[in-house]
Amino acid sequence: MGEFELIRRYFLPLAGQGKSRSLILGPGDDCAIQRIPAGRDLVFSVDTLVEGVHFPKYYRPDYLGWRALAAAASDLAAMGADPECFTLALTLPAADEQWLAGFAEGLRAASDAFGLALAGGDTTSGPLTLTLQVHGTVDEGTAIRRTGARPGDLVAVSGTLGDAGAALEYLAEPAPTPDMAAMLDRYHRPRPRLELGRSVRGFASAAIDVSDGLLADLGHILQASGVGASLDSARLPVSPSLARLKGDASVAHALRSGDDYELCLTFPEDRWGAMPESVKRQLSVIGVIQAEAGLYLDGTDCSAGGTPSGFDHFRGKG
Amino acid sequence: MGEFELIRRYFLPLAGQGKSRSLILGPGDDCAIQRIPAGRDLVFSVDTLVEGVHFPKYYRPDYLGWRALAAAASDLAAMGADPECFTLALTLPAADEQWLAGFAEGLRAASDAFGLALAGGDTTSGPLTLTLQVHGTVDEGTAIRRTGARPGDLVAVSGTLGDAGAALEYLAEPAPTPDMAAMLDRYHRPRPRLELGRSVRGFASAAIDVSDGLLADLGHILQASGVGASLDSARLPVSPSLARLKGDASVAHALRSGDDYELCLTFPEDRWGAMPESVKRQLSVIGVIQAEAGLYLDGTDCSAGGTPSGFDHFRGKG
């Protein structure tokens, strides 16, 4: 099956231009066309996933389709953006129809769930690699950047941390317990915080999604904003399943594991106070921004020159 | 050297937000931000290049940087768009500084030449693969699509065809003649027809860039527009160098070779007549659009079911 037939059969059904208010020409021409409403900004982000690096070899194609779009969409959540559309550059060793059908099914489910229409793409032959670019929109000037954290701001995270990272140990488990299954679900079916991201627009001073681990990602906010932070390890949100599986070591997972796709946010105290309870309930306050550089956990500076490797001593914690 | 340092050292100098009027936030946050002026449409296209498939192994990195952006920008030319910015997803087997310096240099030269600022990207570890997405803008509703060709429209192409494809035979030539060197320059340093694309906006009824070969790419216009075409092989623009190197076989190159990144356009006759001479001079009229399906060359239908393989009998022509 040739490239064009491939695209037609498996990906054109995802185009659904109606899904995006702004996409006025989808796949099939030299370019796609988006008409951004006056007073709105376009925000966009690109993410690559390589087999054997970002996902295991022989990974289930429907999980891959979902995860690839979820990981990309998480960057829109971190800007507080409304999702619009995406492009898919798919490099495949062979046109395996069964694989493609599964991949397209996972991608379609994510496309529907996140409200992202396929705008265009490119299919090439080579080692399995995916690059997705997601497009969203926000009211002019309201995108939440990494640069806005100020001393005194509260540091908060959504959901629970460490689950997806813990799942890596159970990927080959033939009979996962319910707790393991809960971890695996977080890894295979991440749910980017798009709704929450939109809800905190106008309240949060800075935001990032937790893809590389809380310490690394919060570190990016601190560096971009020129500030430091103090965290309280007892306030880190850990799921009951992770706590049962990992005991005290769950704190290390919550600090270092990636792939959770939760949001890490900062809020001026008065803006936090002004937020609806329904939004606050989705967040845990874990610390405070300070003027002094460094990332302090329970009073100990663990920024060690600002590199994530400085946190290695947490690996064995507990 | 880590991912972040890599990006900073070699790619941040390309960000130059000032290059694009619409790019208001470049690399370094979860997303880039573009503010499209009211009354303008965003057009965008994504292209992947895989080592060993789209370019030879051990290909010179500065050529690769230029070619990758040129190939992507050519899709903007085919829509008649003004270039704005691009994203780069770069998958690399290793962080080889010498390679990166060369690649960034070629990319920078192309970025300057085409007026495309780096908006964001992702650097990952894996087999050498590049995915570039280019963004341009046009006045609302004026992008040139593939669907607008109508019976009686003239078919025209820019520049000369077949040169880049012929160069493939000379890539390893230790002492290329001046004619071979001319072919090689077309292959290594393609120049997308951005200026010409903008000039024909409002005149051309359909457009595509010649990346896969004239017959294949014109075939896409015919299919999208629901029409056929008759071409005159004697009117195909062939460079003197290609004619000297290939003799009568140069026609087959002009019909089938890819990588030239010229434009194939259709024009209603009155719109053609209304165009400035300075624009017409860059184009060769090679045929006419007809209502009847099929792609006729010198009176012989060579569409053979619409697949490019139907043109195989031209390989030996001459």
Kindly report, residue by residue over A63-76, the tens digit of the pLDDT: 999 999 999 999 99
pLDDT in tens, A178-190: 999 999 999 999 9
- Report how far apart, in Å, the C-alpha atoms of B220 and of each of A89, A203, B295 are: 20, 49, 11
Q: How many CB atoms lie within 10 A of CB A168?
A: 15
Q: How many CB atoms lie within 10 A of CB A177?
A: 13
Q: Which of B5, B20, B30 to mutate to test the interface with A (most CBs of A within 10 A)?
A: B30
Which of B32, B50, B133 has the CB atom closest to A91's CB atom?
B50
Question: Minimal CA–CA distance to B126: which of A130, A71, A132, A74?
Answer: A130
Per-residue b/e over A91-104, b at no fewer than 16 CB within 10 Å?
Answer: bbeeeeeebbebbb
Interface of A with B in 88-147 (CB under 8 A): 88-89, 91, 119-122, 124-127, 129, 131, 133, 136, 140, 143, 145-147
Confidence band, pLDDT 50/70/90 cuts, at residue A313? very low
Give A52→chain B minimum CA distance, Å.
9
Which residues in chain A have their CB less than 8 angstroms from residue B126's CB? 50-53, 127, 129
Confidence band, pLDDT 50/70/90 cuts, at residue A25? very high
Q: What is the dihedral of CA A175, A178, A180, A182, to 10 degrees?
A: 130
Position A101 scores a pLDDT of: 92
Confidence band, pLDDT 50/70/90 cuts, at residue B315? very low
CA distance A131 to B172: 32
Q: Is A180 a member of any domain?
A: yes
CB-CB under 8 Å, A133 with B87: yes
Position B310 scores a pLDDT of: 33
Q: Which of B76, B104, B139 is the last residue of a domain?
A: B139
CA distance B31 to B214: 37
CB A267 within 8 A of CB A204: yes
Is B76 part of the contact surface with chain A (CB cutoff 8 Å)? yes
CA distance B211 to B308: 13
CB-CB under 8 Å, A126 with B127: yes
Residues A135, A164 share a domain: no
CA distance A112 to A123: 22
CB A22 within 8 A of CB A36: yes
Residues B108, B172 share a domain: no
Query: What is the CATH classification number for the domain harbouring A119?
Result: 3.30.1330.10
Position B286 scores a pLDDT of: 98
Residues B212, B164 share a domain: yes
Q: Is A308 a member of any domain?
A: no
- φ, ψ (nearest 5 deg) of residue A215: -65, -45
- Report how far apart, in Å, the C-alpha atoms of A279 and of each of A70, A154, A240, B148 are: 21, 15, 22, 49
Average pLDDT over residues A294-301: 93
Average pLDDT over residues B99-119: 94
Which of A34, A124, A125 has the CB atom closest to B42's CB atom?
A34
Termini Cα distance of chain A:
55
Residues B100, B210 share a domain: no
Q: Which of B5, B46, B54 to mutate to test the interface with A (most CBs of A within 10 A)?
A: B46
Position B20 scores a pLDDT of: 79
Average pLDDT over residues B209-223: 95
Residues B162, B187 share a domain: yes
CB A267 within 8 A of CB A227: no
Which residues in chain A have their CB less than 8 angstroms from residue B146's CB? 28-30
Q: Is B45 a member of any domain?
A: yes
What is the domain range of residue A84? 3-25+37-139
B8 secondary structure, DSSP code: I
Shortest CA distance from B225: residue in chain A: A29
Task: Give the CA radius of gyration of chain B.
Answer: 20
Number of domains in chain A: 2
pLDDT at B105 over 50: yes
Position B314 scores a pLDDT of: 35
Confidence band, pLDDT 50/70/90 cuts, at residue B3? low
Q: Is B31 a member of any domain?
A: yes
Query: What is the CATH classification number for the domain harbouring A186?
Result: 3.90.650.10
- Report how far apart, in Å, the C-alpha atoms of B190 and of each of A181, B78, B107, B214, B259 are: 52, 15, 13, 16, 8
Shortest CA distance from A211: residue in chain B: B30
- Report how far apart, in Å, the C-alpha atoms of B235 and of each of A48, B161, B183, B255, B283 are: 44, 11, 20, 12, 11
Which residues in chain B have their CB less than 8 angstroms from residue A25's CB? 143, 145
Percent of chain A as helix, strand, coil, to the nearest 5: 40, 25, 35
Termini Cα distance of chain B:
55
* Residues in CB range of A282: below 8 A, 6 or more apart: A158, A159, A196
pLDDT in tens, A122-147: 999 999 999 999 999 999 999 999 99
- B163: annotated binding-site residue? no
CA distance B184 to B162: 11
CB-CB under 8 Å, A126 with B53: yes
Q: Which of A89, A107, A139 is the last residue of a domain?
A: A139
Percent of chain A with pLDDT over 70: 93
Give A301→chain B minimum CA distance, Å.
22
pLDDT at A310 over 70: no
pLDDT at B172 over 80: yes
pLDDT in tens, B242-293: 999 999 999 999 999 999 999 999 999 999 999 999 999 999 999 999 999 9
Q: Is B292 a member of any domain?
A: yes
Question: Minimal CA–CA distance to A33: which of B140, B146, B13, B187?
Answer: B140
Give A106→chain B minimum CA distance, Å.
21
Which pair of tokens denotes residue B99? 């390679």
Q: Is A310 a member of any domain?
A: no
CB-CB under 8 Å, B119 with A29: no
Residues A226, A95 share a domain: no
Alpha helical stretches, state H, B15-128: 61-79, 97-114
CB-CB under 8 Å, B131 with A46: yes
Q: Which long-range contacts (CB under 8 A, 24 or more apart) does B195-199 make?
A: B196/B77, B196/B158, B196/B263, B196/B279, B196/B282, B196/B283, B197/B76, B197/B77, B197/B78, B197/B79, B197/B80, B197/B81, B197/B144, B197/B263, B198/B80, B198/B81, B198/B82, B199/B275, B199/B276, B199/B279
Average pLDDT over residues B84-112: 93
Is B32 part of the contact surface with chain A (CB cutoff 8 Å)? yes
Residues A258, A194 share a domain: yes
Per-residue b/e over A279-302, b at no fewer than 16 CB within 10 Å?
Answer: ebebbbbbbbbbeeebbbbeeeeb
Is A164 part of the contact surface with chain B (CB cutoff 8 Å)? no
Shortest CA distance from A40: residue in chain B: B35
Question: Minimal CA–CA distance to A34: which of B115, B143, B88?
Answer: B143
Interface of A with B in 279-318 (CB under 8 A): none
Question: Minimal CA–CA distance to B47: which of B27, B18, B32, B67?
Answer: B67
Which of B31, B43, B129 has the CB atom closest to A45's CB atom?
B31
A116 secondary structure, DSSP code: -
Confidence band, pLDDT 50/70/90 cuts, at residue A9? confident
pLDDT in tens, A215-260: 999 999 999 999 999 999 999 999 999 999 999 999 999 999 999 9
Lowest model confidence (mean pLDDT) among A233-242, B120-129, B298-307: B298-307
Specify the 3-state DSSP secondary structure of B267: strand
Residues B185, B127 share a domain: no
CB-CB under 8 Å, A36 with B44: no
- A185: annotated binding-site residue? no
- Report how far apart, in Å, the C-alpha atoms of B170 and of each of A120, B55, B180, B250, B316 are: 34, 14, 7, 15, 19
Give A269→chain B minimum CA distance, Å.
23
pLDDT at B217 over 80: yes
Confidence band, pLDDT 50/70/90 cuts, at residue A291? very high
CB-CB under 8 Å, A131 with B131: yes
Q: Which of B116, B139, B162 is the last residue of a domain?
A: B139
Give A17→chain B minimum CA distance, Å.
15
CA distance A26 to A3: 17
Position A252 scores a pLDDT of: 92
Which pair of tokens denotes residue A284? 């845990």
Mean per-residue pLDDT over chain B, rounded = 91
Shortest CA distance from A307: residue in chain B: B2
Is A67 part of the contact surface with chain B (CB cutoff 8 Å)? no
CB-CB under 8 Å, A136 with B131: no
Shortest CA distance from B88: residue in chain A: A46
Shortest CA distance from A37: residue in chain B: B38
Specify the 3-state DSSP secondary structure of B47: strand
Q: Which of A31, A40, A82 to mutate to test the interface with B (most CBs of B within 10 A)?
A: A31
- φ, ψ (nearest 5 deg) of residue A120: 175, 180
Which residues in chain B have their CB less than 8 angstroms from residue A42's CB? 33-36, 42
Residues B188, B113 share a domain: no
Q: Is A168 a member of any domain?
A: yes
Which pair of tokens denotes residue B48? 């992947």
Residues B189, B46 share a domain: no
CB-CB under 8 Å, B46 with A224: no
Which of B45, B121, B140 has the CB atom closest to A31's CB atom?
B45
- Compute the half-sphere exposure of residue B158: CA atoms within 13 Å on the CB side of its CA: 27
Residues B40, B188 share a domain: no
Specify the 3-state DSSP secondary structure of A155: strand
Alpha helical stretches, state H, B229-316: 240-246, 250-256, 269-274, 277-280
Residues A217, A124 share a domain: no
CB A281 within 8 A of CB A212: no
Degrees, nearest 5: CA angle A221-A227-A229: 80
Give A131→chain B minimum CA distance, Å.
7
- A82: annotated binding-site residue? no
Specify the 3-state DSSP secondary structure of A294: coil
Confidence band, pLDDT 50/70/90 cuts, at residue A164? very high
**Helix (H) or strand (E) segment spanning residue A11:** none
Confidence band, pLDDT 50/70/90 cuts, at residue B50? very high
Interface of A with B in 228-257 (CB under 8 A): none
Give B247→chain A minimum CA distance, Å.
32
Which pair of tokens denotes residue B41? 């449409």
Percent of chain B with pLDDT over 70: 93
